Amino acid sequence: AIRVVTSDGYGLLLERIPRRDARKAVFLQHGALDSSMGWVSNGVVGSPAFAAYDQGYDVFLGNFRGLVSRDHVNKNISSKDFWSYSINEHATEDIPAMIDKVHEIKTSELKLYQPNVEELSNEEQPYKLCILSHSLGGAAVLMYVVTRRIEEKPHRLSRLILLSPAGFHEDSNLCFTLMEYGFILSKQILPRFVPAFYIPTRFFRMLLNKLARDFHNYPAVGGLVQTLMGNVIGGDSSNWVGVMGLPHYNMNDMP
């Protein structure tokens, strides 16, 4: 794992499945209530990160701030100050810091493993970087690209793949409408008592993930949860679980 420090002092965890001499890299960014573990949780066979590695990519897995609990250059920072951020900081601080670190690593390694790389490429960077992001990660990456274009700075991306990027939905169902108003009301009250809701240590996050997967693997329970979530949340009812279990799936394999 690689520790990345943002310009406002937050410590981020950038993980990697290294293919150091590869001239193509992919950066995977998780969504809300998730971590980089989501890209490898199906194991060597069936996980997007390992599938990308098998296709010759140097794989980087990003994690937003807050995953490594209270990791900040200011060791005395209060909980209120630490958790005082939003998607704006994810897009303008976290994503740029991790992309810059990927660029630093790739350029230095390619010069080492391929000394003639500068002769082979007339571009500023001797590799191509693709981003695959989900939910909150997709929204943050979009904001990152737009911000970089406005600032006339390079975003260093050759391709952008967004999986259900977060946004504003005017046609949300009753369940999400109630949740929206619930969050708006709780926002005025809860911060006075609790700075944030989070699982405090990496061990307990892994334990919760394992319990959730074991719970889902019971056939009757897994089917019941999938049916309930489909009826409550809506969306595509295709067998995405089956698709995700394929060894090397792509968009042509999806229903």
In a domain, 252, yes or no: no
Do 137 and 208 belong together in one domain?
A: no
Over 90: is that where the pLDDT of 234 sits? no
3-state DSSP assignment of residue 175 = helix
- 110 φ/ψ angles, rounded to the nearest 5 degrees: -65, -35
pLDDT, average across residues 9-26: 94
- End-of-domain residue from the set 165, 197, 216: 165
Confidence of residue 213 (pLDDT cuts 50, 70, 90): confident
* 30/149 same-domain check: yes
Q: What is the tally of structural domains in the chain?
A: 2
Domain for residue 54, yes or no?
Answer: yes
Is residue 180 in a domain? no
pLDDT computed for residue 32 by the predictor: 85
**Amino acid (1-letter code) at residue 39:** W
Q: What percent of the chain has pLDDT over 90?
A: 44
> Which of 165, 180, 214 finishes a domain?
165
Same-domain pairing of 137 and 194: no
Tokens of 144: 């990152």
- CA dihedral for 82, 86, 92, 97, sign (positive or negative): positive
212 shares its domain with 151: no
Answer yes or no: do 156 and 31 share one domain: yes
- Does residue 72 lie in a domain region? yes
Same domain, 226 and 158: no
Collect all residues with Cβ–Cβ distance below 8 Å to 168 and sequence separation of at least 6. none
pTM of the complete model:
0.77
For helices 136-151 and 95-113, the axis angle rounded to 10 degrees is 80
pLDDT at residue 49, as a whole number: 94
pLDDT of the residue at 167: 76
144 shares a domain with 75: yes
Asked whether the beta carbons of 91 and 144 are under 8 A apart, the reply is: yes
User: Is residue 120 included in any domain, yes or no?
Assistant: yes
Q: Are residues 196 and 154 in the same domain?
A: no
Q: For residue 116, what pLDDT is reported?
A: 67
The residue assigned the tokens 């109630």 is 178
Report the DSSP beta bridge partners of residue 26. 59, 130
Instruction: Check residue 235 and give its pLDDT.
Output: 56
pLDDT digits (tens, 9 = 90+) for 55-81: 999 999 999 998 766 799 999 998 888
Is the domain of 9 the same as that of 133? yes
pLDDT at 122: 47
CATH number at residue 139: 3.40.50.1820
- Name residues whose C-beta falls within 8 Å of residue 216's C-beta, 6 or more positions apart in sequence: 222, 225
- 92-117: per-residue pLDDT in tens? 999 999 999 999 999 999 988 876 65
Give the mean model confidence (pLDDT) for residues 176-183: 81
- Is there a domain that residue 49 lies in? yes
182 assigned to some structural domain: no
Are residues 112 and 161 both part of a single domain? yes
Whether residue 128 sits in one domain with residue 215? no
Give the domain-ending residue among 133, 165, 197: 165
**Co-location of 143 and 208 in the same domain:** no
Give me the domain span that covers residue 29: 2-165
Task: Please provide the DSSP assignment of 185-236 as one string.
Answer: HHHTTGGGT-S-----SHHHHHHHHHHHHHHHHSHHHHHHHHHHHHHHH-S-
Q: Does residue 174 belong to any structural domain of this protein?
A: no
